[in-house]
Amino acid sequence: MRCTEIADLIDLHLDGALAEEPQARVARHLMGCAACAFEVRTLEQTRSHLREALPAVESSPSFREKMIARLNHDLADVLRPEPIQSESQWSLPFPRENAG
């Protein structure tokens, strides 16, 4: 994994939002790359300072929805999969006899 890819994933890494596999790859990279490890430490510190300095701001639901939709679209392959919600994923909507 390259440093530029790590930079894209650092935020998710800090949020614990990465799936196991990319999370492991990020962790492996950080062990061997001082520059990225430093970047992560800096970001972590910045975030905790921001949390202390700023009052909690609620983002509007529509903003959050848009962000989530964008993130799901951009990062579908690295985010944790959503739990399957469909009750009947194995049953077919039509009888098979008409197929063909």
Instruction: Give the count of residues interacting with Zn ion (CB under 5 A).
Output: 3
Pick 28 or 66: Cβ nearer Zn ion? 28
Pick 32 or 95: Cβ nearer Zn ion? 32
- Of 1, 33, 43, 71, the one binding Zn ion (CB under 5 A) is 33
Distance, first Cα to last Cα, the chain: 46
User: Is residue 7 close enough to count as binding Zn ion by CB under 5 A?
Assistant: no
User: Is residue 30 close enough to count as binding Zn ion by CB under 5 A?
Assistant: no
Cα separation, 62 vs 78, in Å, equals 24
Cα separation, 23 vs 12, in Å, equals 9
